[in-house]
Amino acid sequence: MHEFETLIERGSPDDFLFRQLDPARLPRHLAIIMDGNGRWAKRRGQARIAGHPAGVEAVRTTVENCARLGIPTLTLYAFSSENWRRPRLEVTMLMRLLQECLRREVPLLNRHGVRLRFIGRLEALSAEIRKALDYAVTMTADNHRMTLNVALNYGGRAEIVDALRAVAREFKVRGRSLDTLTEEDVARHLYTESDPDLLIRTSGEMRLSNFLLWQMAYTEIFVTDTLWPDFNRTHLLEALVAYQRRSRRFGGVETVGVPVPALA
């Protein structure tokens, strides 16, 4: 937390928000639906695709801030299995931008101790893209400060199907009956290693958009009208403060943690 605090101007809005945070109660796993790139560009009289490079800047600052705060896992929804329906030019540009970012950002990830992983049906991507993904994963594999999951060609329902197929194969080998199937069996074969504590969705949309459907059972949700390219450190801190002001019951009556006082 000290590294993060040194970057904040004393007496600024970010300083006010930061001082309300309890370092021991930060989310262990933060997920973000990065929405609004196209609308951000259109509001500026630009083509939709112009919003994606601006969105990359928001990704960079968010990853850096989460690493400095000490959040162990960050999962970003980058490209859904439904996004292939977008105009071909936009999809091509997104894949090209992804490759460029991987080449450019690996040193930054290593500097912040971030291990990069990709989740989704990656086998459907081109060989060129998969090679770029493998390179970035390999180059960051020894980092342990934070794990960054990037959901690519991802769908929540498809993930559950893949997990069930893996369970069926495992049970066949072990001679187990599907009647003995447990939630733990399914969870063990999901793409992520943990469930998000907090989901942030930008652009004001009130839906999960087929993202981490199994893992979101008890995730706290924070929605902001801010479009993704405009998402900055202040917005991140606002979401974290709001998260810590909630009581998480997980279906029970006992609260978890101590609520943070409301803003003055």
For the chain, domains (ranges, CATH) are 27-155+197-244 (3.40.1180.10)
State yes or no: is 35 an active-site residue.
yes
Closest listed residue to residue 145, CA positions, set 67, 219, 213, 204? 67
Measured distance CA(25)–CA(242) in Å, rounded:
12
Query: Is 134 annotated in the active site?
Result: no
Give me the residues paired with residue 160 across strands: none
pLDDT at 253: 61
Catalytic residue among 14, 15, 35, 197: 35
* Tens digits of residue pLDDT in 76-89: 999 999 999 999 98
Per residue in 159-216, pLDDT tens?
Answer: 999 999 999 999 999 999 999 999 999 999 999 999 999 999 999 999 999 999 999 9
Q: State residue 2's pLDDT score.
A: 65
- The pLDDT of residue 250 is 75
Distance CA 114, CA 68 (A): 11
pLDDT in tens, 87-118: 998 999 999 999 999 999 999 999 999 999 99
Quickly tell me which residue has 């060129």 as its tokens: 128
pLDDT at 167: 98
Task: List beta partners, residue 80.
Answer: 154
pLDDT at residue 254, rounded to an integer: 56
pTM of the shown model = 0.92
- pLDDT of residue 248 exceeding 70: yes
pLDDT at 43: 95
* Partners of residue 115 on adjacent β-strands: 147
Say how far apart CA 66 and CA 30 lie, in whole Å: 9
In contact, 34 and 226? CB cutoff 8 Å = no
pLDDT band at 247 (very low <50, low <70, confident <90, very high): confident
Mean pLDDT of the chain: 93
| Number of other CB atoms surrounding residue 127 within 10 Å | 7
Look at residue 23 and tell me whether its pLDDT is greater than 70.
Answer: yes
Torsion of CA 90, 95, 98, 102, to 10 degrees: -160
From residue 42, alpha-carbon distances to 49, 91, 96, 209 in Å are: 9, 17, 21, 22
Contact status, residue 32 vs residue 65, Cβ threshold 8 Å:
no
For the residues 208-237, what does the mean pLDDT come to? 98
Q: Between the ranges 196-205, 240-249, 254-263, where is the mean pLDDT highest?
A: 196-205
Q: State residue 3's pLDDT score.
A: 79
Say if residues 66 and 75 touch (Cβ distance below 8 Å): no
Angle (CA) 40 43 45, round 5°: 115
75: confidence class by pLDDT, cuts 50, 70, 90: very high
Joined tokens for residue 12: 């600024």
Which is the catalytic residue, given 14, 15, 83, 162? Answer: 83
**pLDDT digit string, tens, across residues 52-66:** 999 999 999 999 999
